[in-house]
Structure 1
Amino acid sequence: MAFPGFRYASSGLRAALKAGTRFTKKQSSESEDKTVAVAGSAKPVETENEPPIATMARLQSVLETYLSPKEVNLIREAYRFSDQAHLGQFRSSGSPYITHPIAVAEICAGWKLDHDAICAALLHDVMEDQGISKQELLEKFGNDVADLVDGLSKLDRLEFATKAQQQAESFRKMLLAMARDIRVILIKLADRCHNMRTLDAVSPEKRRRVARETLDIYAPIAHRLGLNALYRELQDLCFEAIYPNRYRVLEKAVKAARGNRREVLTRINETIEHALPAAGIDAEVYGREKTLYGIYHKMVEQNKSFSNVLDIYGFRVIVNTLPECYLALGIIHQLYRPVPGKFKDYIAIPKVNGYQSLHTTLVGPFGTPIEFQFRTHDMHQVAEEGVAAHWLYKSEDASLHDIQSRTSKSLQSLLDIQSQTGNSGEFLEHVKVDLFPDAVYVFTPKGKIVSLPRGATPVDFAYTIHTDVGNSASGCKINGEPAALRRELSSGDTVDILTSPTSRPSAQWLNYARTGRARSEIRHYLRTVQYDESVAFGEKMLEQTLRELNQIMPAKDDAVWDKLARSSGAKSREEILSDIGLGKRLAAVVARMLTPDHPLIATTAAADEQIVAARSIPITIHGNEGQAVQLAPCCGPLPGDAIIAGIRVGHGLVVHTAECPVAMRARAKEPDRWVDIAWDKETAKHFSARIDIMAKNERGVLSRIAAEVAQADSNIIHVTMTDDAMADIVLNLTVQVDSRKHLAQVFRSIRRVPQIQRIVRVKG
């Protein structure tokens, strides 16, 4: 048994935090903390009194434990090249710059990365800072090293208008390089870790900026890759850099609390030391302490004082085999009462980054909650070093491709986002959303486990399964029951996505899509498909207007389109037609400008005349034009209804029933933006209609109504009802029908149910 004490121990502490002190979100502004931060709590190997490292002696001693002499010699060549390239260059602290690449290489050597990665770590700044070309690196150190260094180099800032755009594009480039070779991000994380450890040499403003970027991007990536030791260190270093005063106050409080609870922890440790060997389990037991950032985050999120954050200490039990994890858990549960709802089995359902452990919270002596974690030695290695742990177990014949494939799943969602996003800033926004670690685990109908961020909805689930499933989602079932696409998912839910060939993504989905992939896919669809649909519909509107003016549509390659585009500020014929379809231009005005016997400038009076003329022939619609034609939800028009449409800028035509009060009020205010339309002879097959049914509250009435709706060749896609304790109930149904005539058939079928008292169509 081993009990070496708690990690993240602090020294030189004098007093405890007052019990009532709270950190609230309102207090979390950067401007509060004006003092200069000291170095991070997780120190590098050297201390402040030690001179900076200028040789690779310590690095070489580590490398010789797992690399061949030939590989070590190549690394020495990379060191000499880097030392020469950075000659005369110094860090903000005054140390020779070469101390930084050596420190980065030492971190990578601690993960036992291969010799190419160590060479790239030593050379990672020579292209960016010293102008060394990729070709020169390729000739001296080979293609792998050159590609790694290139992937780590930032882009030239002169290419970008803003610092934020440059950072976003640099991160995007790094992600693409990471897709080809996982070592890129490992070296980058080591680079960021050493920079965070030495932040005390820069200005407070830069310190906070770098720390926030690290907290938003690099710490979550470390967590995604399973580098939990690095993840915790980066969080604490960022906390200290952003809020140095709060960091020091919490540090004192934790030190004092550790002394106050020593008796409890010692008693628990002694009990475990006797119980586990008595059951034949050989285990190592370690004390574990929450990071200062973890404590602070919990205080802010739950609005708790430090004295109310009880679970800051815990124990980690490391055993030899997987069955012993469950055996040890059972033994500890016999010693102390478990807290209901606080057990998590990450062995049966591992986290996305491969993390496996059993977590349980128990009520210890004096009512103190203590968290326990149970894992094997292999699980512990992966939990602490994640992706980097694969290098420790790599056999001689294992290829880097095998290691790369093990991590592809963790990075796939990021790559999917990249492939669908054109703007680097939007891409970075999606990635930030997708990197945060809180997750729920849901099941497909076939029992496959899908991990999603906390707060995810069936829309996120659909796009995780496949882009086509998301783009055609029409509804869903959660645990066998119909549910809305906006409902938040919980761990253990079984989700079944209902699809329809006529369903399309809606801009409203962006309000409740949680994952970066879903949001980027929806925006990609709206940008591309909406544009194509609006072009097609705009062409149709313009053609009908020109026909009324006894004109024909100019050919696509007609020079008049270029002339019209230049005079109206558009880029192309397609943009003009798209603007018509989306309501940004009036078809009558564009038609007037295309009339050959008039100049390419339409007067307001002429435009008004053409608008009136255009209304004499209504525009025909099918109902499935997509984003260019939208059916108003206030009245739910169906084929067979008399309809009118308003041109809404950015949304195309919004179709209402002719008697819709919303439409009549809007038409009275802006009559010029309304056009007459009619249903085409061939219309779409699936429209939604809302109906209210009043019925006697008798057993089986809903099932009989559903049977009659199905008999009428319709489908119920949503249903709600009033309190079922009443004698009469009102059912609110949304059904799929083809037309107003089809809805009438559904009404006749429903009226055959004896309990029905009244049925009406809802148009408001």
Structure 2
Amino acid sequence: MNLQADKLPSPTVSESAEANVSSTKKRRSPAPSSPTTVAPPPIVASITDLTNRLSEYLSPTDLKLVKEAYRFSDEMHLGQVRKSGEPYISHPIAVAEICAEWKLDVQAIMAALLHDVMEDQDVKKEELIERFGAPVAALVDGLSKLEKIEFQSHIEAQAENFRKMLLAMARDVRVILVKLADRLHNMRTLGVMSPEKQRRIASETMEVYVPIAHRLGLNNIYRELQDLSFAHIYPMRYRTLAKAIKAARGNRREVVNKIMAAVKTTLNEAGLEAQVDGREKTLYGIYCKMRDKQLSFSQVLDIYGFRIVVDNFKNSYFALGTLHALYKPMPGKFKDYIAIPKSNGYQSLHTTLIGPYGTPVEFQIRTTEMHRVAESGVAAHWLYKNEAGTLTDLQQRTHAWLQSLLDIQKQTGDSAEFLEHVKVDLFPDSVYVFTPKSKIFALPRGATALDFAYNIHTDIGDQAIATRINNEPVPLRTELKNGDIIEIITSPNSRPTPNWLTYVRTGKARSAIRHYLRTINLNESTELGKQLLAQALVSLHLNPELPDSLVDKLLNESSANSLEELHTDIGIGKRMAALVARHILDLVENDSPSIPFQHMGDEKINKPDPVMIYGSEGVSVQLSPCCLPIPGDDIVGQLKRDQGLIVHTAECKHAKRMQVKEPDRWIDVTWGEDINRRFDCRISVLVNNERGALARIAAEIGEADANISHVNMEDGESKDMTKIHFTIQIDDRVHLAKIIRNVKHLNGVSKIRREYSN
């Protein structure tokens, strides 16, 4: 099973209805549960521990409000029990206790206690506003929307629910904090579910909630959710690894104790007051290392690490130097996350040293304040909100990320696209780059210079034409590395092209490019969509001229505002012409008495004409860069989402692979007549490594009335041969054949052929 965050599983049925409750029937008023669902003797839930914990930081007035919320929730859930036989109210209490560990405010605690009453008991938001105030009702409402994530086969339904969750989080981060507390308690008690449901809920947790917890810096929950998910997704692997860790713990205790004593003694001698803790890496972390590096457990030496917490910024570096004097550091194993914090606000010095017996040992060094943020992330705002100014940078980073979700939502056409954009931003790995004025930016690993341009401002991205990285001119598609200094060169005449979508990495860049492409050349896309729909209708024996009554019904069910908008969506690949045509056929067959529409007779049916390609259609039709088709080639067309029609040669290997995966997205295309433009084509020439060879070939290409747009060379099949790669601009296959024939007869040329990237 894929454990990465790039694929979202089908969300689970509401946890309150499946993971917690023995009966899924919704009821407004309390009712006794069936005797078969209650495990005797009855278990009594108490809020004594919760109120004791809350009394440490909430006022008596706030505690009174919390108790009122508890009484209401208890009344609503009366008679409801969890799968374990416990009263259902024990779950909201447990969620509230987790929130109390972060010292969340009274409104969040009340929302934790009430988080299921709207979903399970049909309590209206208006009633919550009247009883507990608008802020609490808004939090519960946001959480209730999250609970409506259900298993759906339709990707749009999944994506819409995920979009609601992220936007609720963007409006108020307390929503996701309570949700994560809810998910954590459910994962802790997941053992009562069937193995299939355990795996399903654990997979969703690993792929959705774990990366969110990491992005918000909630490392304690992040690690616990990872291990709990691992235990339920791969129970045998988990048990085997846990057993091996337990055995190794005893074998390595002597080494750990020796390192701990030596470190404490060395720091004390240096006059440093520090808290030194030994820690064991998580089971999932060890498993990932074994899996990714193809190691056995015995080969994973650094399952233990040490954390050193000092009182101030300067002493963290002083402690680092002291440790490096005690044990030798491993080259390339030092990271300074204090000078350059992670995107979730995490700060520490990481260094790996060679300990006793040659064992590598990892150390994390941080200040007390950094430790608070490292463990609690954005929740530390509530834990330590009285310490003015300590978390300003973290709050700004979190706010910027949440704001970017809202920005993407404004530019995104639908929920599936929004989900696609956002998922990539949940990946934990980042690269840290600088502007020429030393301002730092964190971007996902694999991001390009164009991503950086859009991260600065949408207008900068739209007008980017080139970039300099570390004062060297490089293409916009260049992948960024840690420490790069980036300067973006812009021009008011530059505009995004569909090809940019192939090498941007961030959700913000992708959504901005797609938004721009939607708003330009709509006439081209509309005309293409109209032609594609007509072609699909004819293939189903339907008349492409649709009566008004049918158009009205189609628009009503397809959520398009006009037939022109529907054609545009088809032209840019957002909708499939074949699916729209099939929908029209269903409407005709189901409502034929009320729709004045006739099927075309069989005698009128011919194979639909292919779409004509002239190569100058603009952004709605593109020639694929993988095979660079030219007039005279047999060609096929691929409808690609938000990129329109992509034309490939019929023999293109990439096209053939994609046709197997998405056969419905391919249509017949053919070259039009009177094409009045030139086309790029790649050729390679194997030539003797001798003086003047390149000049002779270039002259011959020029004599054949072709233009050379790019040249590069590499070693040939032997040391006395060189392979020269040309990108030339030609008219058609006949023109290419003439060039190949002329170059082939030059002295020293051993081989010449047309070249494809695949």
TM-score by length of 2: 0.71
1:442/1:495 contact within 8 Å kept: yes
Partner of 1:378: 369
Q: Distance in 2 between matches of 1:156 and 1:110?
A: 23
1:709-736 deviation digits (Å, cap 9, x = unpaired): 9xxxx9977855558997996664669x
2:97 is the alignment partner of 1:80: no
- Name the CA distance, whole Å, in 1 between partners of 2:633 and 2:356: 74
Could you tell me whether the CA contact under 8 Å between 2:431 and 2:481 is conserved in 1?
yes
Structure 1 residue 607, shift from structure 2 partner: 9.2
Report the residue type matching 2:143 in the other structure: L
Is this contact kept in 2: 1:224–1:410, CA < 8 A?
no
CA offset digits 1:86-139 (Å, max 9, x no partner): 111111111111111111111111101111111111111111111111111111
Q: Name the CA shift for 1:627/1:330 in 2 (closer, same or farther; >3 Å).
A: same
Displacement, 1:80? Answer: 1.4
Deviation sequence 1:445-475 (CA, Å, 0-9, x none):
5443332333444454444344455556666
Q: Which amino acid aligns with 2:247?
A: A
CA contact (8 A) 2:497 2:517 kept: no
Secondary structure, in 3 states, of the residue corresponding to 1:626?
coil
Tell me, yes or no, if structure 1 residue 437 matches structure 2 residue 433.
no
Aligned 1:526-541 pairs, distance under 5 A: 532-535=523-526
Which string of whole-angstrom CA distances, capped at 9 and with x for unpartnered residues, describes residues 175-212 of structure 1?
21211111111111111111111112222221221111
One of 187, 206, 220 as aligned partner of 2:197: 206
Which amino acid in structure 2 is aligned with residue 274 of structure 1?
T
Q: Partner of 1:288: helix, strand, or coil?
A: strand
Q: Is 1:625 matched with 2:618?
A: yes
Change (3 A) 1:631 1:360: closer
Question: Structure 1 residue 761: deviation in Å?
Answer: 13
Identity of aligned residues (%): 52
Match of 1:253 among 223, 241, 244: 244
Deviation at 1:245, TM superposition (A): 2.9
Q: Which moved more, 1:142-151 or 1:464-473?
A: 464-473
The 2-side partners of 1:602 and 1:445 are apart by 66
Question: CA separation in 2, counterparts of 1:343 and 1:495?
Answer: 24
Q: Distance in 1 between the 2:489 and 2:93 partners? A: 55
Residue matched to 1:648: 637
1:389 corresponds in structure 2 to 380
Assess if the C-alpha contact under 8 Å between 2:102 and 2:380 holds in 1: yes
Counterpart of 2:357 (choices 366, 369, 374) is: 366
Alignment map for 1:10-159 (pairs within 5 Å): 54-154=45-145
Q: Which runs of 5+ in 2 are unaligned?
A: 4-8, 10-18, 20-40, 534-543, 579-596, 653-665, 733-748
Aligned to 1:549: none
2:672 is aligned with 1:676:
yes
CA distance, structure 1, for counterparts of residue 528 and residue 442 of structure 2: 40
State whether residues 648 and 654 of structure 1, in contact with CA within 8 Å, keep that contact through their aligned partners in structure 2.
yes
Question: 2-side partners of 1:610 and 1:187: how far apart?
Answer: 56
- Tell me if structure 2 keeps the 8 A contact 1:632–1:654: no
Match of 1:506 in 2: 499
Please tell me whether the aligned partners of residues 345 and 359 of structure 1 are also in contact (alpha carbons under 8 angstroms): yes
Instruction: Give the equivalent residue in structure 2 for 1:13.
Output: none
Aligned mates of 1:376, 1:401 — CA distance in 2: 16
- The answer to whether residue 327 in structure 2 is matched with residue 336 in structure 1 is yes
- Kindly provide the amino acid, as one letter, of the partner of residue 48 in structure 2: A
Structure 2 partner of 1:274? 265
Aligned-residue Cα RMSD (Å) equals: 5.2
- 2:265 is the counterpart of 1:288: no
One-letter code aligned to 1:505: P
Give the counterpart letter for 2:274 in structure 1.
Answer: A
Q: Against the structure 1 CA distance between its residues 661 and 269, is the aligned structure 2 distance closer, same or farther, given a 3 Å change threshold? A: closer
Q: Which amino acid in the other structure matches residue 254 of structure 1?
A: I
How far the C-alpha of 1:343 sits from its partner, in A, is 0.5
Q: Secondary structure at the match of 2:364?
A: strand
Change (3 A) 1:164 1:60: farther
Match for 1:504: what amino acid?
A: T
Structure-2 change in CA distance of 1:150 and 1:144 (3 Å): same
Cα drift, residue 324 of structure 1? 0.8
Q: What displacement does 1:690 show? A: 6.4
Q: Is 1:645–1:653's contact at 8 Å kept on the other side of the alignment?
A: no
Deviation at 1:407, TM superposition (A): 1.9
8 Å CA contact 1:417, 1:520 repeated in 2: yes
Equivalent position amino acid for 2:384 in 1? Y
Report the alpha carbon displacement of residue 275 of structure 1 after superposing the two structures with TM: 1.3
1:292-315 Cα shifts (integer Å, max 9, x gaps): 111112112222111111111011
CA contact (8 A) 2:338 2:348 kept: yes
Greater displacement, 315-324 / 77-86: 77-86
Query: 1:174: which partner in 2?
Result: 165
Matched-pair contact (CA < 8 Å) for 1:643–1:655: no
Secondary structure in structure 2 of the residue aligned to 1:408: helix
TM-score w.r.t. structure 1 length? 0.70
C-alpha contact (below 8 Å) 1:336/1:362 kept by paired residues: yes
Q: C-alpha separation between the residues in 1 aligned to 2:220 and 2:495?
A: 49
In 2: Cα distance, 1:578 partner to 1:233 partner: 44
Cα deviation, 1:522-555, whole Å, max 9, x if unaligned, reads 555666657553225678999xxxxxxxxxxxxx
Unmatched 5+ stretches in structure 1: 1-22, 31-38, 40-49, 543-558, 586-598, 663-669, 741-756
CA gap of 1:464–1:604, structure 2 versus 1, over 3 A, is farther
Bigger-Rg structure (1/2): 1
Higher relative contact order (CA 8 A, sep 6+): 1
